[in-house]
Structure 1
Amino acid sequence: MDKTACDGDITRIRQLNEIGIALSSERDHDALLERIFTSARELTGADAGTLYTVNAEKQQLSFAIVQNDTLNIHLGGLSDPVGDQFPTISLHQADGSPNEHLVVAYTVLNDCTVNIEDAYAAEGFDFSGTRQFDQATGYRSRAFLTVPMHNHEGDVVAVLQLLNKHTADDIDGTFSQADQHIAESLASQAAVAITNQRLIAEMQALFDSFTRVIATAIDAKSAHTGAHCRRVPEATLLLAEATHRSTRPEVVDFHLSDGDRYELKTAAWLHDCGKVVTPHHVMEKSTKLEGLFSRLPMVEARFAAKQQALDAAQLRAELEAYRQSQPFADRERQRFAAQQQQLTDDIAFIRQANTGGEFMHDEDITRLQAIAGKTWQDADGQQQPLLTADELENLCIRRGTLNKNERKIIEGHMTATLDMLNELPFPKHLQRVPEYAGGHHERMNGTGYPKGLTREQLSLPARMMGIADVFEALTAPDRPYKAPMKLSQALTIMGRMVEDNHLDPDLFAVFVEEGVYLDYAREYLADDQFDTVDTASLPGLPATLSV
């Protein structure tokens, strides 16, 4: 071998090594295919060619990249898509026999390289399609080098087909054994890169599906939180994108990369994963007297028994008056009627108090305490309170339906969330998932949970999730203890939470200024929740708000 040829081989080997290193670091699929194909053509001097991908399930080959420098054709990869102008190639004919008359199918079926010097003179293969292409374009397809590409299991995942080698005189040169070896070496490295990329994509798809399965399971566990775990990620990402494009000085340094978006989205999907350990009867507590079962019928039964006792007492009094030949006094009849009416009013009040709500006034609690002080006579003749201490405690809940112990249990889902997420070996690009997911119940003044972190200790994404979580909860249509709020009411409550130093003021300003609430509402809220929002009068907003 002369020195020039030897130097050329050394140069190509060096190029092959450099290409292998570059392929291993490429993350974009289309860019990877383009790099593989362009490198193969450069190393072999090919004027044109095609990169096919194999669909093992359908037993088909698809055109991924088509290039021809002479005809100025560049399709696939990072260029325009191939489209339907190049149909798929079946590996088997209609009768099930192997489609070995096409050279690219032959390469896959027999797992071998095919090097053809002249397609017009070759025997055993059908190049009629090639001749039609040449006739239509004026091109002369001559030399074909077709190389299979294998994955780590030995399956052919793609085919590299090179066409017409450039020579000093023209583009009709044939591919040498050295060209074939270098193409096979590149195909081997490229197949590893494609396989790695495919495995990474499959692992990511599996992980994404896993996070969604957890969220779906939590939503399915509670009919009263509906699609909360699915809606919060949407609200969070809407706010993150709005913050990314905002020009407000307070958030102008916040920027989102694709990796940041994925990390935040993953955290949002997992933000309530700890609810899998929350007892069902606590999570599903839609009324104050609900537990493992509803205790309201027991209360109603006591009132019914007391009413029957009053009816019986009145009948006995009337009978005694009759025996003594005396009229039954009207004042006595009125007294019994007033007692019956009071019982009717009291049980109606208890039913109303049991539903929960945004706030219970002091006079309501005083009335409940007075009712609890009354008694009824049980089957053993013993006097028992109309309301037990536990029933009174629950009915006196000022907001919502959860008592203090139950609220602690619910709040415990955040500790469970952090425990679960901290057990997962998140890769480098997802290291902040526990911090983002674990901070959405923290408050800016440090009175939140589970860690009591302050605004300065929370990242912007964690604070975003807090706003998204509150907004979704206020406007959710599936909470049995309250009607879904209109936009103006929800934003007013959130503004007050900003004033109380619970929600981040800068992000709330972005939430309103960039119309995040409207983008979310158009997708998830009912028509009757839309109303006019006077942003100028909303609490918690700076005077410089621009809407």
Structure 2
Amino acid sequence: MSSATHTSPDVAHQDLLVLLARQTNLSSLLGFIVAEAMRITGADGGTLYLVKGEDEARELQFTVVRTDSLGIDINGHAGDHVPMMPIKLYTDGQPNHHNVASYAALSRQTVCIEDAYTVDEFDFSGTKRFDESNGYRSKSFLTLPLSDHQDEVIGVLQLLNATDAKGEVTAFAPDVIPSIEALATYAAISLNNQILIEGHKELLDAFIKSLAQITDVRSPHTSLHCQRIPELTELIARAACEQKEGYFADFNLNEEEWYELSVAAWMHDCGKLATPDYVVEKATKLNLILDGIDAIKARFSALISQRENHYLRAMLQGGDVSLLQQEMDAEIAKLREDCDFLARANQGGEFMRPEDQERVRQLATLTWRNAQGEEQSMLNEQEVHNLCISRGTLNDEERAIINRHIDITIDVLEALPFPKHLRRVPEYAGGHHEKMNGKGFPRGLTRDQLSIPARMMGVADIFEALTAKERPYKKPMPLSQSFSILRNMRDDEHIDPDVYELFLTSGIWREYAERHLLDVQKDVEDVTPYL
């Protein structure tokens, strides 16, 4: 490696500032700082440490490690495994001045060493062990602290083995040190900005996921829904990005677009936080604060006792005991079966037959006497209305209330000052209940008016709801039944046909099923019948 070509300091500094500003994320910035410092000095190696921890627990964490002649190029922030242990800034409460990197951080001074093997001030035993293991010879070192705008040391840059024009290892030239110190200053500013940006992003992520968890916790019956949708949506989007032909051939997401989709998926049901608890938590048709089926069971119990008394009095008055006993047993058995039927109807389900709804109405005509001896109907009008709910546990009025959550979701998200790269979050999150034929809600948008990510989220939302294990009104639906329902929804123009086909043919449903479905639900091997 040859030495860097020197240019005007002002021009070099201006170019450096521009190059640093172009680094769009922390991992690329870290790598650029080391690479640029090595280029300027002709160094064979470079290490960038970041300060982690507080007060005397602070330590220097190896983040970027490069040695070109050994083919070593590690960026821990990009996901690479970093095998080196952190360097403590304090040991037993005392500053660690034995290590050159920790000394530079604590003293805020640049340290230039011509040959590590000939100095006594610092402990290079670890360096020597590395050399012995790798057939290397570490010689010249240049170590600089990186300080932020508050003069807090946030990292250390260390360069190894400067080389001359002939490729021979030499000491770091004194005239290059000011340039590296300038790089360290500019790098620290950019690095601090990226750390702040990443910290804000981590805070936003944690806040968003906390909101989703709160939404799920409000109802154990839809628990984990808000946490599964991001996973399932990402699986669908990933499959689309991998397509080389067909409808999704040109679909792709960059890093910012992936994050935008993730935020939308996590926030897709945030409006449910404003939905009344009695609706969110309505596990049975008659459930308000308490389950109303208990009151109906008490009425049947009272009616059974009243009918038993009726027959017993008839027996005492000289009636045919055998005949009356048979009639009583039959009537009481019928009442008990009717009570059990209403209890089953109260649980809800995917579909209630019209004949079962008519039976509920007929049972409402039964009468019993309350404690005051007043004749009462077995079921009141509201109870009949709720027990005849055809799907699930919500009546039309309650469903309208819970459907309002998507309007609230859109209102909340549109009111948030999302930055430019997250501007489509409200559209993605707010479109998952729309239908391709324009008959969905809340805005009645058609397929052409909906983005591909919004359509993906719609399929993810329905599939998760169909296969969820926690819904009290239905058993966990197997894949065969779920795919049949999705196929019918495709045919009725409720869900996007291309997203549905991708979901099945890509096989991502298998990956999701392995993580979240019960074995009894995994009853499909070939999806051809559902296409």
- On whether the aligned pair clears a TM of 0.5, the verdict is yes
Structure 1 distance, partners of 2:233, 2:130, is: 52
C-alpha distance after superposition, 1:328-369 (max 9, x if no partner): 376666555544343223212211211112222222222221
1:384 paired to 2:376: yes
**Structure 1 partner of 2:144:** 147
Query: Which sits farther off after the overlay, 497-506 or 123-132?
Result: 123-132
Which residue is equivalent to 1:286? 283
Matched with 1:310 is 307
Post-superposition Cα deviations, 1:176-198, rounded to whole Å, max 9, x if no partner, equal 2x433222221110001111111
Amino acid in the other structure paired with 1:219: D
1:384 CA displacement: 1.4
Unpaired runs of 5+ residues, structure 1, are 1-7, 322-326, 542-547
**Structure 1 residue 420 and structure 2 residue 439: aligned?**
no
Would the alpha carbon gap of residues 253 and 334 (structure 1) be closer, same or farther in structure 2, given more than 3 Å must change? same
Kept after mapping to 2: 8 A contact 1:488/1:533: no
Q: Determine what percentage of the aligned residue pairs are the same residue.
A: 43
Partner residue of 2:386?
Answer: 394
CA distance, structure 2, for counterparts of residue 181 and residue 172 of structure 1: 18
**Residue 446 of structure 1 is aligned with which of 417, 433, 438?**
438
**Shift of residue 82, structure 1, vs aligned partner:** 8.4
Q: Which moved more, 1:415-424 or 1:488-497?
A: 415-424
Partner of 1:370: 362
1:341–1:422 CA distance, 2 compared to 1 (3 A): same
Moved more, 448-457 or 27-36: 27-36
Q: Structure 1 residue 220 and structure 2 residue 217: aligned?
A: yes
For this pair of structures, how many residues does the alignment match? Answer: 522
User: C-alpha separation between the residues in 2 aligned to 1:441 and 1:485?
Assistant: 20
Contact between 2:433 and 2:441, CA under 8 Å: does it hold in 1? yes
Is contact 1:75-1:82 (8 Å) kept?
no
Structure 1 residue 166 displacement after superposition: 5.1
CA drift of 1:240 comes to: 1.3
Q: Quick check: which has more Rg, 1 or 2?
A: 1
Match of 1:251 among 248, 252, 255: 248
- The alpha carbon displacement at 1:174 in A equals 5.0
Query: What is the aligned counterpart of 2:336 among 320, 335, 344?
Result: 344
Letter paired with 1:61: L
Q: Mean alpha-carbon deviation: is it higher for 163-172 or for 334-343?
A: 163-172
Give the Cα–Cα distance (whole angstroms) in 2 for the partners of residues 246 and 116 of structure 1: 54
Equivalent residue, structure 1, for 2:87: 89
* DSSP 3-state at the match of 1:224: helix
Structure 2 unaligned spans of 5+: none
Change (3 A) 1:459 1:119: closer
CA distance in 2, matches of 1:194, 1:350: 66
1:99 maps onto 2:91 in alignment: no
Q: Counterpart amino acid of 1:193?
A: S
| Residues 1:467 and 2:467 are matched in the alignment | no
Q: Which amino acid aligns with 1:446?
A: G
Distance 1:398 1:182 in 2: 76
Over aligned residues, Cα RMSD in angstroms? 2.9
**Partner residue, 1:489:** 481
Deviations along 1:244-301, whole A, 9 cap, x unmatched?
A: 2235533323222232222112211111111111112211211111111111121112
TM-score, normalisation: structure 2: 0.89
1:450–1:83 distance in 2 versus 1, CA, 3 Å: closer
Indicate the residue corresponding to 2:156 in structure 1: 159
1: distance between equivalents of 2:437 and 2:66?
61
Q: In structure 1, give the amino acid aligned to 2:170.
A: D
In the alignment, is the contact (CA less than 8 A) between 2:229 and 2:464 conserved in 1? Answer: yes
Q: Does 1:20 align with 2:17?
A: yes
Alpha-carbon spacing, 1:381–1:534, altered in 2? closer, same or farther (3 Å): same
Question: What is the aligned counterpart of 2:35 among 31, 34, 38?
Answer: 38
When residues 163 and 505 of structure 1 are mapped into structure 2, their CA distance, relative to the original with a 3 A threshold, is closer
Matched, 1:500 2:492: yes
Contact 2:63-2:82 at 8 Å conserved across structures: no
Residue 134 to residue 334, structure 1, CA distance change in 2 (3 Å): closer
**Displacement of 1:43 after TM fit?**
3.4
Rounded to whole Å, the distance in 2 between the matches of 1:340 and 1:128 is: 91
User: 1: distance between equivalents of 2:106 and 2:431?
Assistant: 55
**2:514 maps to 1:522:** yes
Alpha-carbon spacing, 1:336–1:508, altered in 2? closer, same or farther (3 Å): same
Query: Is the 8 Å Cα contact of residues 165 and 174 (structure 1) preserved in structure 2?
Result: yes
CA distance in 2, matches of 1:398, 1:82: 55
- Decide whether aligned partners of structure 1 residues 162 and 278 sit closer, same or farther in structure 2, where only a CA change above 3 A counts: same
Cα distance in 2 between the residues matched to 1:183 and 1:265: 39
The CA distance in 1 between the partners of 2:428 and 2:99, in whole Å, is: 55
Q: 1:53–1:158: 8 Å Cα contact kept in structure 2?
A: yes
Give CA-to-partner distance per residue, 1:62-102, whole Å, 9 cap, x none: 44445566x55654349996843x55433234x43322243
Aligned to 2:427: 435
- Residue 385 of structure 1 deviates from its aligned partner by 0.9
Q: Which residue of 2 aligns with 1:532?
A: 524
- Which 10-residue stretch deviates more, 19-28 or 160-169? 160-169
1:297 is aligned to 2:294: yes
2: CA distance, partners of 1:339 / 1:167: 106
Mapped to 1, the partners of 2:250 and 2:273 lie a distance apart of 37
> Counterpart of 1:172?
170
Contact between 1:74 and 1:80, CA under 8 Å: does it hold in 2?
A: no
The offset of 1:48, in angstroms, is 5.0
Counterpart among 326, 338, 350 of residue 358 in structure 1? 350
Compared CA separation, residues 280 and 180, structure 1 to 2 (3 A)? same
Query: Which segment is superposed worse, 39-48 or 114-123?
Result: 114-123
Partner of 1:59: 58
Q: Is the 8 A contact 2:212 2:266 kept in 1?
A: yes
CA distance in 2, matches of 1:338, 1:131: 95
Q: Deviations over 1:379-412 (max 9, x none)?
A: 2232211110011111111111111111111111
2:202 to 197, 201, 205: 205
Equivalent position SS for 2:431? coil
